[in-house]
Structure 1
């Protein structure tokens, strides 16, 4: 396992994995909408009703990207990769609960662990990039995904961007979002402190574009935003 991926995965221990479904929906206003639109963007890109092999990097947790995509496109098949065993187990349990486990292959590890062939028709990387420290780790996972995609294949990339402290009003609104869900003032302060110390989002949308370009993707199109969160679709160059 790549050391940076191991460091990121270590944060998602069994206790954090267990609360992930609830906490992620508070942290990201529009969580379900983002995942639904991600599936719609992929279907619009690939063509409705076709078969496809989809790589889902960082799939652990709710498996929401697979749930939405599989319900929209039942002929798609998924390879779910995550370095955190508790998070991957949680994802597969969710898929079993909704009757979708049979369409998904689970792989504990990182994208680099996957074989070079066959190539995938599409990929997703949702809620992962801001957990990887430094641009080298971010670029590494994007390059690994690009190497396993067919030319012209779409990637859905979604996550936080911009340094949190650089946008004090958005950060304060994020705190109010937690307060709206019943957190006390002390709990809000603790959550914001943990956020400020525990993640390393790309510095700007331009930085996201630059990472994608260097990894081998064409200019992305943003289709969703919520406070610090953005979601883009980009195609692997060459198609």
Structure 2
């Protein structure tokens, strides 16, 4: 599935995206709860970059908790970004937000952000070099020492235990009232369109992009979350193509 197809898929799902996952919201809420503690040391006037922000769930939560923070939402699906904008407007938080329909590499190449979020985004990049380039694009826009919080589906698909883990995860997805045919499609997509990598590989990709050693702070089923600080040394530019889709 190419980038245009992915954007079209998320455009179609945007209006009902939050509702279709409501029974599985515990995954999102527990990640966001821990995220609050990860980001709590940030300045009271922190400037945050939210990449592949989708409908803006993490941005809305952080904006409500930290009234001095400002946010830049980056999202290639215009349908998703419109839902994010509507959410922030309904909460009275849009005045502190900038909305960018597109990609990180289209933002000014200036290290101006104190932190970034990137949840269930980089897993859609199948090529590891391009995935490194994607994280590098985020790193270039973070101040030295700034924090990245990211999450992705992660597992060792070559492990003998993986089929059992995948079966449990698919049953969990089905418990969220997904129709059986959608669960079958999801299983097929995991094998074809999702770059599920072992945790050590994901961590190595993040480090190669210009971050210090990632700290895994979250795991639930096949979702793992890390935070990492942007290194203090000057970043070189890797030669790769940036492609990704939203959470």
Normalised-by-shorter TM-score class: 0.7 to 0.9
What is the deviation of 1:185? 4.7
CA drift at 1:200 = 1.8
1:34 aligns with 31
Counterpart contact for 1:27–1:174, Cα < 8 Å: no
**From 9, 16, 39, the counterpart of 1:11:** 9
What's the offset of the Cα at 1:226?
1.0
Aligned length: 231
In structure 1, the partner of 2:99 is 106
Q: CA offsets, 1:118-151, max 9 Å, x none?
A: 5111111111011222113211210001001110
Structure with the larger helix share? 1
Q: Which structure 1 residue ranges, 5 or more long, are not aligned? A: none
- The one of 199, 209, 217 equivalent to 1:205 is 199
Query: Are residue 115 (structure 1) and residue 108 (structure 2) matched?
Result: yes
1:229 and 2:220 are equivalent in the alignment: no
For residues 1-239 of structure 1, what are the structure 2 equivalents within 5 Å?
6=4, 8-13=6-11, 15-25=12-22, 29-44=26-41, 46=42, 50-61=44-55, 63-117=56-110, 119-162=112-155, 167-183=162-178, 185-201=180-196, 203-238=197-232
Distance in 2 (alpha carbons) for counterparts of 1:126 and 1:185:
25
| Deviation at residue 7 of structure 1 after TM alignment | 5.5
Q: Say what the alpha-carbon RMSD is for the aligned residues.
A: 2.4
Shift of 1:28: 6.8
Deviations 1:63-95 (A, max 9, x none): 111111112211000000111111111111111
Q: What SS does structure 2 have at the residue aligned with 1:150?
A: strand
Higher relative contact order (CA closer than 8 Å, sequence separation 6+): 2
User: Structure 1: how far apart are the matches of 2:220 and 2:175?
Assistant: 16
Counterparts of 2:81 and 2:182 in 1: how far apart (Å)?
A: 28
Residues in 2 aligned to 1:127 and 1:137: alpha-carbon distance in whole angstroms: 16
Could you tell me which runs of 5 or more consecutive residues in structure 2 were left unpaired when the two chains were aligned. Answer: 234-247
**Partners of 1:10 and 1:84 within 8 A in 2:** yes
Q: CA deviation at 1:36?
A: 2.7
TM normalised by structure 2 equals: 0.84
Preserved CA contact (<8 Å) 2:214 2:227: yes
Instruction: Classify 1:133/1:80 alpha carbon distance in 2 versus 1 (closer, same or farther; 3 Å).
Output: same
Change (3 A) 1:23 1:134: farther
